[in-house]
Structure 1
Amino acid sequence: MVPDTRLSILLFAVLVAPGLLFDLLSERRRAAYSESAFREASRVVLSSVILSGVSVVAVLWIGSLKKGWLPDTRKLLEGNKRYYLDHARELLILLTLEVALAFLLAWFANMGLAQMSRKAKIREPLSRALTGGGSIRATSNWYRAFRQECPSGHDPYVTIRLRPDGPTYFGKVAYYTADMKAEGRELVLRQPIQVKSAKDKKYCPLSSDYQRIVIRADAIDVIYITYRKKNTQSADKPHRSKAKTGRQVEAPPAVGEAARK
């Protein structure tokens, strides 16, 4: 039996669209991970039911403040087709407000969760102290190191050594693939970029003709990560240290943490 087209649109707007929007917004603040179609559909429907439920309650409360603006709830539940036809305008207003409010709730909920995610690194030491260990989350290590653990007002800079015995690159992370699977993952560096071969001791600036470098994850041996303040001239240079003789020698910027693929 094929459902009525209008009913299908209504069910999609109420039971799918808000949750789908929330899920798409969520992928902007966390790495997507593979899951079964049933689990993904269940998450979308559950999110939609919660968002639409809150939206319906809010719209009905608003309608109770001004009589005649929205259709009567009791008569709607009676299923009187004549009442539906006579109050088509009020029904349209009700559905429009409900869906619009559900979309707004999805957006605000995502913003709130994003704020909580940024503050999670502050609460994490306390959480570890209370639970006696670290937390386990389905989160890409790249996403965690490049975004979640990056202090406010700082940018992630990396020194990347390629395998086997490949060159070493230093630069600012422009963007990256945040998928859970390492296969097919890529990291992009932006200018200014420093590079040196396995035999060289000093970094050389990469030609300004190249604005970006795309590095595949399977070509990376190790990544050294450091967080440096934005808009500082020294941030674009590899970290240097002095030897006992006072001679300047190059040292990898292992100020942050080393993250292996």
Structure 2
Amino acid sequence: MIPQTLGALAGFLALVAPGIVFELRRERRRGRHQETAFREASRVALGSLVFTLVSVLLMTAVQAAGARLFVSPVGWLTRGEAYAREHLTLIVVSVAVELAVACALATGFEAFLARRRGEAATVQQRSAWAQALRTDRPIGSRAWAHAQLENGTSFYGYVRSYTPSGPLADRELVLEGAALTCENDAGTKVIGEDWRRVVIPGSKIAYLRVTYLDAVTGEPLTPPPG
């Protein structure tokens, strides 16, 4: 079912937000697993429902203690739109507080589970390509790569662009530069003066070596530790 109004869309997002928060934090520690969209959506929906219900119960307990800080569910159900029009600001505040409490519960529960399982480390959701070509690249440098293809041909050049993630068969690497070089059984030849760039399918690369050169002088640089 697709929400038809802005209010319905906001309500839907508020309902599923706690489950999404829980899943995103869990994936940071355990990594993403391949599963069906139905199973993932069901887990998000169930988590959101649990955290939302607990949040509503806590707010109801506050109301029962005598603090009239939030909307009255009974009044809203009995009077309907008339109550909503009269207490619009209170409804907005109540929904915002409920969402904040539910997301806080999701964050706290995920941290509790991670502590019990010893999952203190954060799993980086990035490929080795992104790590080597972007994250580890020193400031003020360019990545110089050697792409060894499966047929024995090698290309050397500055990294122009690349596909950072996804199946290797769908990735591409683009090398460029005046010193762009091709090496094969016929010998080694600088092709940068005749060809601006070379596009290499990721599925054809046997291995990829990377170093970092100063963007101005072309001198090798040392990547930062860690």
TM-score category, normalised to shorter length: 0.5 to 0.7
Deviation at residue 9 of structure 1 after TM alignment: 4.2
Q: Deviations along 1:84-118, whole A, 9 cap, x unmatched?
A: 6224322553377469979xx8xxx9xxxxxxxxx
Unaligned runs of 5+ in 1: 61-66, 110-126, 128-134, 240-254, 257-261
Question: How far did 1:216 drift?
Answer: 0.7
SS in structure 2 opposite 1:13?
A: helix
Corresponding residue pairs, total = 189
Q: Is 1:166 matched with 2:145?
A: no
Equivalents in 2 of 1:192, 1:47: separation in Å? 55
Instruction: Tell me how far 1:194 sits from its aligned partner.
Output: 0.8
How many Å apart are 1:32 and its aligned residue?
7.5
Task: Give 1:136 shift.
Answer: 8.1
Instruction: Kindly provide the CA deviation profile for residues 11-34 of structure 1, in whole angstroms up to 9, marking residues without a partner as x.
Output: 52223357669989xx9xxx9774
Distance 1:146 1:192, change over 3 A: same
Equivalent-residue separation in structure 2 for 1:206 and 1:77 (angstroms): 77
Q: 2:70 aligns with which of 69, 72, 85?
A: 72
**Structure 2 partner of 1:178:** 165
Partner of 1:196: 182
Give 3-state SS (helix, strand or coil) of 1:178's partner.
coil
Structure 2 gaps of 5+ residues are 61-66, 108-120
For 2:81 and 2:147, locate their aligned partners in 1 and report how far apart those are by CA, in whole Å. Answer: 65
Corresponding position of 1:246: none
| Alpha-carbon distance in structure 1 between the residues aligned to 2:133 and 2:80 | 57
Cross-structure match for 1:215? 200
1:232 aligns with 2:216: yes
Q: Quote the Cα distance in structure 2 between the aligned partners of 1:49 and 1:191.
A: 55
Report if the CA contact (8 A) 1:184-1:217 is conserved: yes
Give the 3-state SS of the residue equivalent to 1:183 in structure 2: helix
1:166-213: per-residue Cα shift (whole Å, max 9, x none)?
24231125232411x3222222335456122313345342546x3x53
Query: Residue 16 of structure 2 aligns with which residue?
Result: 16
Question: Superposition RMSD on alpha carbons, in Å?
Answer: 5.3
The within-5 A match list for 1:14-163 is 14-16=14-16, 34-42=34-42, 44-45=44-45, 72-73=70-71, 75-76=72-73, 80-82=77-79, 85-88=82-85, 89-90=88-89, 93-94=92-93, 97=96, 140-148=127-135, 150-153=136-139, 154-163=141-150
